[in-house]
Amino acid sequence: MDPFETLALPRRFGLDLKLAEARHLELSKTLHPDRYVGAPPNERRLALSRAVEVNEAWRALRDPIKRAEAILRLSGLEAEVGETREPKPSGAFLMEVMEAREALEEAKASRDAARVEGVVREARAQLGDAERALARAIDPVLDQGGGAAELRAAIPLLGRLRYAARLLEEARNAEDDLM
Amino acid sequence: MAYSDKVIDHYENPRNVGTLDKNDENVGTGLVGAPACGDVMRLQIKVEEGKIVDAKFKTFGCGSAIASSSLATEWLKGKSVEEAEEIKNTAIVEELNLPPVKIHCSVLAEDAIKSAIADYRAKQASRKKAAAE
């Protein structure tokens, strides 16, 4: 499935999320089962499966990780994304990840809400940086009709985005625990 | 997904969690990560006269990743560096009954062992070189 095609949106990482959400709502309304009361069963079934597809497309596009994965898959890099297939992160980057996770663990253990909040801010900043880097690595390539060879460089950036998302998730959990 | 009893045991009572002095020339540090899950794993060995006398780990990841590295440190202690090099991820999979979707966690642990040994060897080589000069 191409979630961009389903919502009739241009294939881009730097997506207009407001427009994507509006498309999702609009199509969901059009395909709502209430509008198919009394319609032939095959039409009802078709509308239902289209509605499911529209929901899936919106879920895939609103999450930057899934959006990047979708673009890379659709560009012929399916076999290089996910599980153990992605390139190993650099030692320096892993050191930063380890330090951030250990700092969060310490802040959690000492119930230091200010430090946990600091990690949340740090994770948000990392997430923003990774998203911007991905947009720079993906969108100009797509605009110029480039493909897998040029987009391969975006895979390590997707890794950075996932690490940032994990840090944010853990930091938010810690925040909840301290409340 | 159901974890095996052995995974749960290592997850709840991880062995050898901690840090060794990474600047100690007898300590090798392996730092590896799985970007697809956002996991990071550090595994360290301390070697004396060719034998691994201590091993520590720190893993931020799922239960299987924690269990794989915890088990690895248990296995490493008392082994020679050469024996340690022979540890295969498939042995970890077997011992912990890891399901197919979690095999990559054992691969990560094997990578961490290899990377710690490589770091230890690089330190020894540069020490020998320094001594020769």
Q: At what angle do helices B103-132 and B89-96 cross, to 10 degrees?
A: 140
Give the mean pLDDT of A55-68.
Answer: 96
Proportion of chain B above pLDDT 90, given as a percent: 83
| Of A85-89, B18-22, B97-101, B119-123, minimum mean pLDDT range | A85-89
Position with higher pLDDT, B38 vs A12: A12
Task: Examine the pLDDT at B60 and tell me if it is beyond 90.
Answer: yes
- Domains of chain A (ranges, CATH numbers): 3-62 (1.10.287.110), 87-178 (1.20.1280)
Of B31, B35, B107, the CB nearest to A86: B35
One-character DSSP codes across B94-129: HHHT--GGGHHHHHHHHHHHHHHHHHHHHHHHHHHH
pLDDT for the residue numbered A83: 67
A89/B33 touch (CB, cutoff 8 Å), yes or no: yes
pLDDT for the residue numbered A88: 87
pLDDT for the residue numbered B1: 58
> Taking the domains of chain B in order of start, what are their residue ranges?
5-126
* Per-residue pLDDT tens digits for B85-126: 999 999 999 999 999 989 999 999 999 999 999 999 999 999
Closest CA to A70 of A118, A12, A30: A12
| Widest Cα–Cα separation across chain A | 63
Residues on chain A touching B119 (C-beta within 8 angstroms) = none
Query: Distance between CA atoms of A156 and A142, rounded to whole angstroms?
Result: 18
pLDDT for the residue numbered A82: 80
A163/B34 touch (CB, cutoff 8 Å), yes or no: no
pLDDT for the residue numbered A78: 87
Query: Distance between CA atoms of A127 and A99, rounded to whole angstroms?
Result: 17
Question: What integer best gives the mean pLDDT of chain B?
Answer: 94
A84/B37 touch (CB, cutoff 8 Å), yes or no: no
Q: Is B62 a catalytic residue?
A: no
For A146, phi then psi, to 5°, come to: -75, 170
Fold classification of B5-126 (topology level): Sufe protein. Chain: A (3.90.1010)
Q: Report the gap between the CA of B49 and the closest CA in chain A (Å).
A: 28
A101/B107 touch (CB, cutoff 8 Å), yes or no: no
Give the mean pLDDT of A110-139.
Answer: 96
Residue A121 forms contact with B (CB below 8 Å): no
A101/B35 touch (CB, cutoff 8 Å), yes or no: no
Task: Examine the pLDDT at B50 and tell me if it is beyond 90.
Answer: yes
Give the mean pLDDT of B37-49.
Answer: 95
Structural contact between residues B5 and B16, judged by C-beta atoms closer than 8 angstroms: no
Task: Examine the pLDDT at B15 and tell me if it is beyond 80.
Answer: yes
pLDDT for the residue numbered B4: 87
Q: What value of ipTM does the predicted structure carry?
A: 0.87
Task: Examine the pLDDT at A87 and tell me if it is beyond 90.
Answer: no
Residues on chain B touching A84 (C-beta within 8 angstroms) = 34, 36, 104, 107
Question: What integer best gives the mean pLDDT of chain A?
Answer: 94
User: Which residue out of B17, B37, B40, B118 is catalytically annotated?
Assistant: B37
Number of Cα atoms under 13 Å in the Cβ half of residue B113: 28
